[in-house]
Structure 1
Amino acid sequence: MTEAIAHTPMMQQYLKLKANYPDTMLFYRMGDFYELFYDDAKTSSKVLGITLTARGKSGGNPIPMAGIPAHAAEGYLAKLVKQGYCVAICEQIGDPNGKGPMERKVVRVVTPGTIIDEALMDGHDQHFLCGLYQHKSQFGAAFLELSTGQLSCVESENQDYIWQELQKRRPVECIIPEGSQIQNSLPPSFNQNILRQMADWHFEPQSAYKQLCQQFNTQDLKSFGCDQLAAATGATAAVLHYAQEMQHSNLEHINDLQTLIPNEHLIIDAASTQNLELFQSTSAEMDSSLFKVIDKTQTPMGKRLLRHWMLQPSRQESTILARQQVIEALLEDFFFERLTTQLDEISDIERITTRIILGQARPRDLTRLKQTLETIPNIKKLLDLKPQLAQQTDTLNALEDVQNYLARAIQEEPPLLIKDGGVIADGFDEHLDEYRQLHTNGTDFLVTLEEREREATQLSSLKVKYNRVFGYSIEISKAQSDKAPAHYIRRQTLKNAERFTIPELKEHEDKVLGAHSKALAREKQLYEEILSYLAGFADALKANAHTLGFLDTCCSFAVCADQYRWVKPELTDSLDIEIEKGRHPVVEAFNQAPFTPNSIYLQQSETQDQPRMLLITGPNMGGKSTYMRQTALIMYLAHLGSFVPAESARVCLLDRIFTRIGSGDNLAAGQSTFMVEMSETASILNQATSNSL
């Protein structure tokens, strides 16, 4: 590029804005289009399949340019974000009638890890933004799901443990300090293209600690369990800062932090997760993962919570027993069927709440929120029938005042965007009603004027029309235009017609168009006030979302227990595992033929340091790996709080599950089949304890 001074004022403005976002595509608003220039234009032309043109010159060469309609920007944004690109949205904020270029400002930056717009993501997918930081011998990681406000961190001296957590969550964007050596030690399978570097002072432990205390409005971080975790807090603060910069917001909805404690959760490494096909099956023909089998959820919150539980199976006996108790209550008299019918009416109020707080909620988000709140009383009535579910009843709030407010404020079927108008209900605001009345009466005036002028002139082709550029005019065909009255003022000549105006029409045009623009401006102001009002109920809305997600996930387990004939496992204090006539949950669900059950008994040895082991032999295709997976999956389900596929089961609490099944090489990492097998086996032997399976 040449110096900005050599360009037109508009291009000078563009170059100045672009300089602040060198590694980001800039969507530069020009009227009804977003324009892209230089390399952004070339890249977008290839990725989006849009036409590459040129505008002006730079250094004697045409400036590449590509454009997309503003009304269709979401689809193009989604494609770019899925490809890993970051996009800065630059809007016109100045007076269109002012001198010089229209004032413009970047209002937000859309990146793979900071998206909250429903149109850019699947309802149940989680888009984790990750931060990595090493402080002395400690490795820290932070994970932020911005659309829900879920923030967690973890710290360990064991680098492999951090990498396992990273691989399980599959972040779409990852923040590391500039000049850090972390990227050189990442697993070979990690996608380095998602790395973003930030100045290392953003990770500095002392300033990070202060930033987090300010974010959570606390004196210290003791209540979050990370008060002494310098690496974890450094990574967390950097992730928060990055998200705040991208959203141009302080992200008030992020007011909690979960510190992951390894011994509180059952650990399953990435290799075992893959071998057990927990989330993805190895089959290219069908999705036969465990998640596919047990996901009977009705809401996006339930689906995400189920995935969250599967990522962090509990080792807390109280947590597991509490979930079992809820599932038992849901199974009584097929109560889950009545509850799932109501849950099917629930929208994704967790993400809607985030968009409300950030001022990015759309009109139809608010109608869905209202419909969800209207469903909550029905759910509470159902829960009142079950004393075991009293805790869930107490945390649900129908927020009748919010329901009534939304009923008065928003049209029942509003348009997609506030800029389209027609979102605010009639009668909500007298000023808006006045502008609308003027605009409506203006239409009646035009009909009357057209009839009057046609009769007065006796010109059958005379029509009153509106054009965005020329406004209102009286149009007469070419054949009759020479008979136009002398007081008609010629305005535009067309191929087959002439357009005229008269003072009365011009006066009406100024009045009507002014009323319409004032109505749109008033609607926008009112809508912002509505979002501000709703943001005051964010905590109650988030509590509703959490409870509804919990009920939905437990209903999913209840459906599985009923449909697949699963039983409640008994937790024991010993290290014994007794599974009577167990079945493989995935094989049984997908196979037409009945599954032959298998029992397994692993008894506690007399001394703790002696192994508890079964050596299984048999021919190929004899069912050895199925038996191994079956045992692992039954134990895994028990740690989720779910019922299990067996006639009966007595299980202990494990710290880790390891599974090494099948063979395959990893040529990209330079590992043969033998090396892969030996590496995974060595990892198991090095990490297994007396509480591992």
Structure 2
Amino acid sequence: MELTPMMQQYLAAKEQHPDDILFFRLGDFYEMFFDDARLVSKELGLTLTSRSGNKDKTPMCGVPYHAAETYINKLVGRGYKVAIAEQIGDPKAKGLTKREIIKIITPGTVLSESALKDAQNNYIALVYEKQEDIVLAGADISTGECFYGMYRGGNRVQMLLDELYRLAMPELLVVGSLSFLPALRDFTNLRLPGCSYTNIDEISSHVDDRIVQHFDASMRPQSQEAKEAVATLLDYLHDTVMTDLTHLNRLTYLDASENLVVDTYTLRNLEITRNLRDGGKKNTLLDVLDFTETAMGSRLLKKWLEYPLLDVLAINRRLDAVEELTKNFALREGLRKDCQEIHDFERLLTRIEVGTANARDLIALKISLKCLPGLRTHLKEVKSLMLSQCQKRIQSFDELVDLLTRSIVDEPGISLRDGGIIKNGYNEELDEYRRVAHDSKTMLQEMEEREREATGIKSLKIGYNKVFGYYIEVRHSGTNLVPERYIRKQTLANAERYITEELKAFETKILGAHEKIVAIEYNLFTEIREQIKQSLAAIQSTAHEIAVVDVLASLAEAASNGNYVRPRMTTDGEISIKDGRHPLVERILTRDLFVPNDARLNHEDCEIMLITGPNMAGKSTYMRQVALLTLMAQIGSFVPAREAAISPVDRIFTRIGASDDLVSGQSTFMVEMNEVAQILKYATRNSLVILDEIGRGTSTFDGMSIARSVIEYMEQKIHAKTLFATHYHELTDLEDDKIRNYCVAVKERGTQVAFLRRIVPGAADKSYGIHVARLAGLPKAVTRRAEEILSELENGSGESVRGAEKQNIEGKTPASEMEKQPGDMMPSLFASSLSETLLSLDVMTMTPIEAMNELYKLQAQAKREAGQG
């Protein structure tokens, strides 16, 4: 096939990037050919054509240059990479226009504002394995973040997978061959289905140079493996973005020892930042706490929730700040109002750095910078250490504000090539050309009048079109008066058109002025952009402090709106919560009153809470509630409770619910056992473990045996603070000095059953499954027959394992058995908040009317908690 020079140019560019979709600039369109054209036409629904005159009918499709961003975003969003081949030479020049690939847009390097979500980071991650070490390097080039983590030991693959789930990156780079690649692909296919893979054969060939180029000595990794991973990631970013990336100047180490570890299962089960329904933010803990006013603050709050703190001092510093803002309404409102005017600094700065910022971005920067003095003023009188540090670190940029105020018009257009972005009075040369352009109409009118007088042709007029430029038009009736200095240009049906030397000079001056105006404005804009880049690092630092203030104010707003209290952070290993409430369920519960509950876990007399009770009674909600309140406390948030004293935990493990894992061919029970295995392997004395209905995916006796064995192992080997919910009432005989029975209070009146949703000491002796089935709408014949079968089973010869001898995990019988109380172990429903209120009353000094009022209040509260209010 004989190829034109242009097609040869296309194929040469495509050969450099065979795996990318090549957008090849031809005039006002980006064109694609061959397989790229077929792929894009299918993905975007474009018409597939061929070049006119092409005998071989080369497949072709294209998109308009001005609308290309929308099409590119769609392709990148589906995991494709797009290489942009732009016209570099003068398109008006003779011969083939020179074209070069100026950037490659990938899912992890996209910078288009319309493709990025304000409240979410757009991470790109790299995984590198060297001997027994796994290194993770990552970045978000839209915000300037860069980080790395190292994983060793038997749990290294799972720790990596947990981190990748938190990052939720759209693009993953894999260096060389990984020993665990099948497990990695299975995980991303199941948990991160939108993630695209890029294989990199070798590490960077100039590791030290890349690290030194981007990071100060204090940030550089000590490990050679970490340096290699970070440098290889930076190489990839430079090769794709193809512009200056000096804004990637902060490198942080993901140190698991400083944070409460929240693994994949816990993030999903507790719906901390993503819900189980569609992976979105709605109906998550993040949704409950997010009152941030800036995109930076929203992203930081998400990060705090995914990386809670362990250090009590650090937690208390956050709590001090939240408490100050909770108590000082005026301060909180002032800060939140200041933040409302602040745009997304981090992404604005990135667009300025990589050269994609337009004039509107600079106006957004100016508006944001103008808010900083007011923000600093509001923070001037704060008492808490964290807020006062923010006040000191937030800088004002008065010179930049002045520069942007003097230079950029208040409402500029989007395109830099259309002009109209620089203010009058900023540049003398620009003002002069603008005067020429502005006065052109007046000058033309004056010239027209002069020519009429000089020639005596009354119908003479001066016009303009794009083909001939400026011309003098004379009707045929007046051509005998045309002077010799007129040069004929065009003959029309009723007139002749001429030009003169004076008109040609005027045309050159006018048209040159318009081109010169645009060129000067563009040059001035780039100069202003370069001046801003000089302060980039300082503005980045200020942006981070603004995000911190925004998050603290958000937590204070949530605390104020939700009537949360400050948790007391302790180091005695105990979690004590009085009248705790589930932050999410409480918010979405509109028809019923949320019933608060107490919780107390420690290593002395209640290490394991063994919770029995029916379905739909609130066991899972209660356990999630304890876990969420613990996590909230460790991010520095107030908690929904009357009182809370919490000792930080190193990990929160959850085994709540399960579904078939069809991707890996695992059943519900296998998924459940995998999760339990992870818990038993990695939980410590300082962990909080949530186990819900272990063993229900197999036969009754198998499941009961596994559940009993797990409880014994937790008590005798791990000693983690544990909430264990079960339907196996036979397990309640495990109660001893560390295991305590609790159940959900139930009120029965004949066949009527009310779940009071109060967790009280004692053991349940029924599951009320048939009652729940009746509520779900099963036919009456089915539920009646179920009652008959249940009665037969209960009166039959089937033996319970309730009386089975409790075995030590080593097979030894314990030294002593705790004496059980006969009969109903459930105390009065009024054993918590109501009893405390009653005990605090001084009945002997109350008047009759005061006593009646108090009694009425107590009765109303009791009715609400019984579900009758």
Compute the TM-score of the two structures, normalised by the length of structure 2.
0.73
Counterpart in the other structure of 1:170: 168
Counterpart in the other structure of 1:690: 685
Displacement, 1:674?
1.0
C-alpha separation between the residues in 1 aligned to 2:39 and 2:528? 39
Q: Does 1:272 align with 2:266?
A: yes
Displacement, 1:483?
7.3
Aligned letter for 1:236? Answer: V
Q: Which has the higher contact order (CA 8 A, sep 6+)?
A: 1
Q: Does 1:245 align with 2:239?
A: yes
C-alpha separation between the residues in 2 aligned to 1:368 and 1:510? 37
Displacement, 1:501?
5.0
Aligned counterpart for 2:548 among listed residues 550, 560, 579:
550
Q: Are 1:577 and 1:650, in contact at CA under 8 Å, matched by a contact in 2?
A: yes
Q: Give a deviation string over 1:418-440, Cα, whole Å, max 9, x none.
A: 11211122222222222222222
Aligned counterpart for 1:29 among listed residues 17, 25, 32:
25
Counterpart in the other structure of 1:99: 94
C-alpha separation between the residues in 2 aligned to 1:447 and 1:662? 83
Q: Are 2:358 and 2:415, in contact at CA under 8 Å, matched by a contact in 1?
A: yes
Q: Structure 1 residues 91, 126: closer, same or farther in 2, change over 3 A?
A: same
Displacement, 1:246?
1.1
Q: Structure 1 residues 632, 490: closer, same or farther in 2, change over 3 A?
A: same
Counterpart in the other structure of 1:8: 4
Counterpart in the other structure of 1:140: 135
Counterpart in the other structure of 1:527: 525
Q: Are 2:395 and 2:542, in contact at CA under 8 Å, matched by a contact in 1?
A: yes
Counterpart in the other structure of 2:228: 234
Compute the TM-score of the two structures, normalised by the length of structure 1.
0.91
Q: Which has the larger radius of gyration?
A: 2
Q: Structure 1 residues 366, 475: closer, same or farther in 2, change over 3 A?
A: farther
Unaligned runs of 5+ in 2: 689-869
Counterpart in the other structure of 1:84: 79
Aligned counterpart for 1:387 among listed residues 383, 390, 394:
383
C-alpha separation between the residues in 1 aligned to 2:431 and 2:679? 71
Q: Are 1:363 and 1:416, in contact at CA under 8 Å, matched by a contact in 2?
A: yes
SS for the counterpart of 2:551 is helix
Q: Are 1:490 and 1:498, in contact at CA under 8 Å, matched by a contact in 2?
A: no
1:293-312 pair list within 5 angstroms: 293-312=288-307
Q: Are 2:281 and 2:287, in contact at CA under 8 Å, matched by a contact in 1?
A: no
C-alpha separation between the residues in 2 aligned to 1:400 and 1:70? 38
Displacement, 1:53?
2.3
Counterpart in the other structure of 2:863: none
Q: Structure 1 residues 658, 518: closer, same or farther in 2, change over 3 A?
A: same
Displacement, 1:508?
2.5
C-alpha separation between the residues in 1 aligned to 2:336 and 2:473? 60
Displacement, 1:169?
0.9
Q: Are 1:142 and 1:235, in contact at CA under 8 Å, matched by a contact in 2?
A: yes
Displacement, 1:277?
0.8
Q: Give a deviation string over 1:618-641, Cα, whole Å, max 9, x none.
A: 111010100111011001111111
Aligned letter for 2:196? Answer: I
C-alpha separation between the residues in 2 aligned to 1:499 and 1:301? 66
Aligned letter for 1:253? Answer: H
C-alpha separation between the residues in 2 aligned to 1:484 and 1:628? 99
Counterpart in the other structure of 1:515: 513
1:254-273 pair list within 5 angstroms: 254-273=248-267
Q: Does 1:282 align with 2:272?
A: no
Displacement, 1:410?
1.0
Q: Give a deviation string over 1:343-380, Cα, whole Å, max 9, x none.
A: 10111111111222222221111111111111111111
C-alpha separation between the residues in 2 aligned to 1:179 and 1:489? 76
Unaligned runs of 5+ in 1: none
Displacement, 1:449?
5.6
More deviation, 568-577/439-448 = 439-448
Q: Are 1:57 and 1:63, in contact at CA under 8 Å, matched by a contact in 2?
A: no
1:159-558 pair list within 5 angstroms: 159-191=157-189, 194-202=196-204, 207-218=206-217, 223-224=218-219, 226-228=221-223, 230=225, 232-283=226-277, 287-334=282-329, 335-388=331-384, 389-446=387-444, 464-467=463-466, 470-472=468-470, 487=486, 489-491=488-490, 500-503=497-500, 504-558=502-556
Q: Structure 1 residues 190, 446: closer, same or farther in 2, change over 3 A?
A: farther
Displacement, 1:451?
7.4
C-alpha separation between the residues in 2 aligned to 1:616 and 1:91? 66
C-alpha separation between the residues in 1 aligned to 2:494 and 2:124? 59
Q: Are 1:473 and 1:499, in contact at CA under 8 Å, matched by a contact in 2?
A: no
Q: Structure 1 residues 482, 395: closer, same or farther in 2, change over 3 A?
A: farther
Displacement, 1:156?
0.8
Q: Does 1:39 align with 2:35?
A: yes
C-alpha separation between the residues in 1 aligned to 2:555 and 2:616? 31
More deviation, 444-453/526-535 = 444-453
More deviation, 369-378/28-37 = 28-37
Aligned letter for 2:214? Answer: Q
C-alpha separation between the residues in 1 aligned to 2:354 and 2:555? 34
SS for the counterpart of 1:29 is strand
CA RMSD of aligned residues (A): 2.6
Aligned letter for 2:659? Answer: G
Q: Give a deviation string over 1:37-58, Cα, whole Å, max 9, x none.
A: 2222222222333333221577
Displacement, 1:127?
0.8
Counterpart in the other structure of 2:602: 603
C-alpha separation between the residues in 1 aligned to 2:491 and 2:277? 67
Aligned letter for 1:560? Answer: A
SS for the counterpart of 2:520 is helix
Displacement, 1:31?
2.4
C-alpha separation between the residues in 2 aligned to 1:155 and 1:199? 20
C-alpha separation between the residues in 2 aligned to 1:457 and 1:327? 84
SS for the counterpart of 1:614 is strand
Equivalences, count: 669
Counterpart in the other structure of 1:71: 66
SS for the counterpart of 1:517 is helix
1:568-587 pair list within 5 angstroms: 568-587=566-585
Displacement, 1:333?
3.0
Q: Structure 1 residues 481, 123: closer, same or farther in 2, change over 3 A?
A: farther
Q: Are 1:340 and 1:555, in contact at CA under 8 Å, matched by a contact in 2?
A: yes
C-alpha separation between the residues in 2 aligned to 1:580 and 1:646? 6
Q: Structure 1 residues 630, 502: closer, same or farther in 2, change over 3 A?
A: same
C-alpha separation between the residues in 2 aligned to 1:428 and 1:399? 20
